Amino acid sequence: MAAETQPAQGALAGVKVIDLTRVLGGPYCTQILGDHGADVIKIEPPQGDEVRDWGPPFRDDAASYFVGVNRNKRGVALDLAKPAGREVLMRLLEGADVLIHNFKPGTLEKWGIGYADTLAKKFPRLVYCHITGFGPDGPRGGLPGYDAAVQAVSGLMSINGTPESGPVRMGTPIVDLGTGLNAAIGILMALFERARTGKGQAVDCSLYDCAISLLHPQAANYLMSGKPPQRIGNAHPNISPYDSYKTRGRSVFLAVGNDRQFERLCAELGAPALSKDKRFLTNGDRVVNRDALRGELEGLLAGHDGGALAERLIRIGVPAGAVMDIPEVLADPHAVHRRMVVESGDYRGTGIPIKLSRTPGSVRRTPPRFNRDGAAVLEEAGYLASEIAALTEEGILAAKRRKGGGEG
C-alpha cells in the first residue's frame, strides 16, 4: 500500500507519538490520535505485529485485523531487545510528545529505559502511556491479558447471553477497544495538563480496570441492591420494553425509555389501551411484568415487517431499529452520508466517528507495510544514510519480518 502525502492537518497536528504497541488496544488508541493529525510512528519488533497474521482475509501480506487499526501511522521495524535498537528509540524520543507501549510490566525497566528511573528524567515533558492486562501491581499485577480472557475474569462474560446459553463472549473485542479509547482520553488529558504545567506524566491503563468500568448498569444495580445480575439475552435489566422481537419480516429492537414513548408504540401498533393497563403504566411496572408485556407485544408485532415498522417508530419518537447485518450497515445510505466507510486506493476502512467542525480527521496514510518508513524516520532523526545502512545490516532496523511469534 502506498502512503499518501498531504499537508499536516487535524486537531493533533504537531503532536508526535512513538507507538510501541501491538495487537488491538494500543493500535486502536494510536489510530484515533493519527486520524486527528498526530504523527504516529509505529515501531514493530522484527517479527512484526502478530495481528498481521490474524487472517484471512489478507492483502499485501497483512491481515484485515492489522489493516483495520493501523492507518495514519508511519511504520518502522526496530529490534529493541538489542542496546543499539534502544539507542535509536531514545533518539526518536527526543522530539516526541507521547510514548505508548503494551510490553509486560518490567520490560522497559529490564532494558534500562523505565519511565520513573530514566524516561521521566531525560524527557520531563513526555506523556508516557502503558497499557497492560491487569496493571503493574496487585495480586494479578504483571500478568498478560487478552480481551476474551479479561471478559471472563472481569464479569463481562457473565452478564452476556441467556440462562440457556450460559456466559457468552461479546462478539466484538469490547475490552480492547474500550481500553484503547480510555488510553486515548488519558493521553489527551495529560497533554492538556502539560500545556498548563509544562510537565509530562504516566498514564496507566489496564484491560482489567477498563472492563470493570464497562459493567454498567449491572455493577451499579448490584452495588445498590445486593442482588447478583442475571443473564437476560437482548433485554435490559432496568428498562422495558427494551429487547428484540420477531416480526413477519426481520427482527426489530424496541428501546422504549419512557412512558410517552410506550404510549406512542402502543398507538402505532393499534393497541392504545395497552399503555393504560395497570401492569404497564410505568417503566417500573413494565420491568416487573416484562414477561406479560412481551407476550402482548409479540402478538401485536406478528403482522408487521420489522424494517418498515422500525422506520415508522423512530420517526414518531420511539427509539427502534431493524436488526441489520454488517454488509447492510456498511452500505446503508446513512452510513454513507456520515462517511463511516472511507477509501483510499485499495484501502477501505471504517470511518472517523469524532467529527470536528474546523479540524476534521482524515485518512492521510494507509496502514504501513512492514518497515515501510524506517529509513525516512531515521533520516528525519538525523541519521546518515551510511548509519541507516549499518543498522539495517546489523538487523537493528529490520528490512524483512523474522520468523517466529510476537512477544508476550
Concatenated DSSP letters for 267-284?
Answer: HHTT-GGGGGSGGGSSHH
318 neighbors 264 (Cβ within 8 angstroms): yes
Q: Label residues 156-188 b or e (16+ Cβ within 10 Å = b).
A: bbbbbbeeeeeeebbeebbbbbbbbbbbbebbb
| Contact between residue 44 and residue 22 where contact means Cβ atoms under 8 Å apart | yes
Contact criterion met (CB below 8 Å) for 160 and 231: yes
Q: Spell out where 31-172 has E strands.
A: 39-44, 58-59, 62-63, 73-77, 98-101, 127-132
Residues 6+ apart with CB under 8 A from 268: 309, 312, 313, 316, 318
Read off the amino acid at residue 379.
Answer: E
> 12 in helix, strand or coil?
coil
Q: Which helix (H) or strand (E) holds 62?
A: strand 62-63
Name the grid cell of 377. Answer: 524516520
Quick one: cell of 329?
450497515
Contacts of 193 by beta carbon, 8 Å cutoff, 6+ apart: 199, 201
Check residue 98 and report its DSSP letter. E
The torsion angles phi and psi of 255, rounded to 5 degrees, stand at -125, 70
Positions annotated as catalytic residues are 176
Q: How far apart are CA 350 and CA 342, in angstroms?
A: 6
- Contacts (Cβ under 8 Å, ≥6 apart) of 297: 241, 245, 254, 269
